[in-house]
Amino acid sequence: MSTKIVGIVGMGPAGLMAGTILLEQGIEVHFFDHKKAAGRKFLVAGHGGFNLTHSESIELFQKKYNHSFIKKAFLQFNNEDWRNWLQSKLGIETFVGSSGKIFPLKGIKPIEVLSNWLEKIISLGGKFNYSHKLIDFSENEAVFSHNGNDIDFSFDYLVLALGGASWKKTGSTGEWKELLDSKNIECTNFVSSNSGFEIEDWHKMADMEGQTLKNTDTSFGLISRKGDVVISSYGLEGTPVYFVNKEFRNSPSDYLYIDLKPTKSQEEIIEILLKSKNTTEGLKNLNLSKTAIQLLKKWTTKEDYSDVKILSSIIKKMSFKPISLRPIDEVISTIGGISMESITEDFKLKNYPTIYCCGEMLDWDAPTGGYLIQGCVSSGFAVGKAISKQE
């Protein structure tokens, strides 16, 4: 049994993974969270798709991360390792969906995944401290606010896994940034990621809210992504839209384009439209969905709609002017937080060598669809291993 004492602050997937790895090495681990329960955002993710990871090859997978430290952590604990871990340690079987995303087996609820994980931690001797908000720390002591009292906790190593700044009600408030700023730990401002776009002049589309444009090709700048785009009251949502967020952040005055018929060239579309009795029949002959046809009618002028050449070019490249990303609190993830310059390759704070950080509180980015949770558990795993190796 090691004599090290480790505190894990933040009980999302990153902190839970770091703590589990440490407990497995016989290290004494105390978990803290300012909420009354663990893994609130993990459960929110469960209400949506609950993509635990993706089945993509390791080579392609690591390209989804924009920072070498997260890529390296992923190589240390990859998507296959995470699946095997879920199965062998928590008894959670997973399956690969048609899109390649990995989910818990049908019938397994997100709360079951979380409960099994917490039970595993208890069986290894982990101690939980809820309603404990981190308010200060030094190299060997953390201070928590608990029911109006300040509680001191002495540690050999501390892991910060405090999450990003979206969905504040889950506990991921981002308020910790102020504390870290005061300790001269460089942090960048939070920015929405995996976010929908608010689109200029969208008011006329509001009655189409909730409808889906299936199998589009969405592009912005030099990048594009196939998939379904969802129409909302303010603009556009959906995986392809989230994917192009980064290009928007680089060039906010550019346009977003949607190809409504990626399987046909403009020439083929013109041919089908010309052979049809009228535009309405032509669009049906093209097998465009009702939603796509309705959008075309509403978004184009009467003149453009009845001009085959112009209409075909709009079908191939319908343009939208994004005004902004959605407010931070509504989005799936945030970038910003602890600057990667502030940590070493094994996620140790450069100016606090007894303190490690992992998960979404670090300034890295990845698309949704399993890559976020994977990045969190991979960095948590790397931190657990790094601290285990310390004297």
Ligand X SMILES: Cc1cc2nc3c(=O)[nH]c(=O)nc-3n(C[C@H](O)[C@H](O)[C@H](O)COP(=O)(O)OP(=O)(O)OC[C@H]3O[C@@H](n4cnc5c(N)ncnc54)[C@H](O)[C@@H]3O)c2cc1C
Coarse DSSP helix, strand, coil percentages of the chain, rounded to the nearest 5 percent: 40, 25, 35
The verdict on 33 binding ligand X (CB under 6 A) reads yes
- Give the separation between CA 316 and CA 135, rounded to whole angstroms: 53
Q: What does the alpha-carbon distance between residue 62 and residue 371 come to, in Å, rounded to a whole number?
A: 9
CA 283 to CA 281: how far, in whole Å?
A: 6
Q: Taking CB under 6 A as the rule, does residue 367 contact ligand X?
A: no
Q: Examine residue 384 and tell whether it contacts ligand X (CB under 6 A).
A: no
Shortest spacing between CB 1 and ligand X, in angstroms: 27
Q: Contact between 44 and ligand X (CB under 6 A)?
A: yes
CA dist., res. 225 & res. 213, Å (int): 13
Helix, coil or strand: residue 174: coil
Measured from the CB of residue 107, what is the shortest distance to ligand X in angstroms? 18
Work out the burial of residue 389: count CB atoms within 10 Å of its CB; fewer than 13 is exposed, 13-18 middle, 19 or more buried. Answer: exposed
Number of residues that bind ligand X (CB under 6 A): 41
> CA 155, 24, 113 angle in degrees (round to 5)?
105
Residue number, 288 or 338, with CB nearest to ligand X: 338
State in angstroms the smallest separation of the CB of 97 from ligand X: 11
* CA dist., res. 336 & res. 230, Å (int): 26
Residue 315 phi/psi, 5-degree rounding, is -60, -40
Should residue 333 be labelled a site residue for ligand X when binding is judged by CB under 6 A?
yes
Q: HSE-up of 214 (CA within 13 Å, CB side)?
A: 5
Binding mask 155-184 toward ligand X (x if CB under 6 A, else -) reads ------xxx--xx---xxx--x--------
Q: Which is nearer to ligand X, 171 or 240 (CB)?
A: 171
- Out of 193, 342, 368, 378, the only residue in the binding site for ligand X (CB under 6 A) is 368
Assess 364 for contact with ligand X (CB under 6 A): no
Q: What is the DSSP string of 4-19?
A: -EEEEE--SHHHHHHH
Q: Does 240 bind ligand X (CB under 6 A)?
A: no
Binding range to ligand X, per CB under 6 A, among 68-76, 83-91, 197-205, 367-375 = 367-375
* Residue 252 in the binding site for ligand X (CB under 6 A): no
Which CB, 37 or 308, lies closer to ligand X? 37
Rounded CA separation 370/85 (Å) = 15
Nearer to ligand X, 311 or 362 (CB): 362
From candidates 370, 382, 386, 387, binder to ligand X by CB under 6 A: 370
Please identify, using beta-carbon distances, which residue of 118 and 296 lies nearer to ligand X. Answer: 118
- The count of other CB atoms within 10 Å of the CB of residue 3 is 8
DSSP string, 369-391: SSHHHHHHHHHHHHHHHHHHH--
Q: Does 54 bind ligand X (CB under 6 A)?
A: no
- Specify burial of residue 39 (Cβ count, 10 A radius: 0-12, 13-18, 19+): buried
Closer to ligand X by Cβ: residue 115 or 313:
115
CA quadruple 296, 302, 303, 307: dihedral, nearest 10? 40
Q: Which is nearer to ligand X, 288 or 335 (CB)?
A: 335
Q: How far is the CB of 155 from ligand X (least distance, A)?
A: 14
User: Which residue's CB is nearer to ligand X, number 42 or number 320?
Assistant: 42
Verify binding: residue 332, ligand X, rule CB under 6 A. yes
Minimum distance of ligand X from residue 260's CB (angstroms): 26
Among 6, 8, 9, 292, binds ligand X (CB under 6 A): 9
User: Interface with ligand X includes 65 (CB under 6 A)?
Assistant: no
- Segment 114-143, which members bind ligand X (CB under 6 A)? 133-134
Which residues of this chain interact with ligand X, rule CB under 6 A? 9-15, 32-35, 40-42, 44-45, 48-51, 133-134, 161-163, 166-167, 171-173, 176, 332-333, 359-360, 368, 370-373, 376
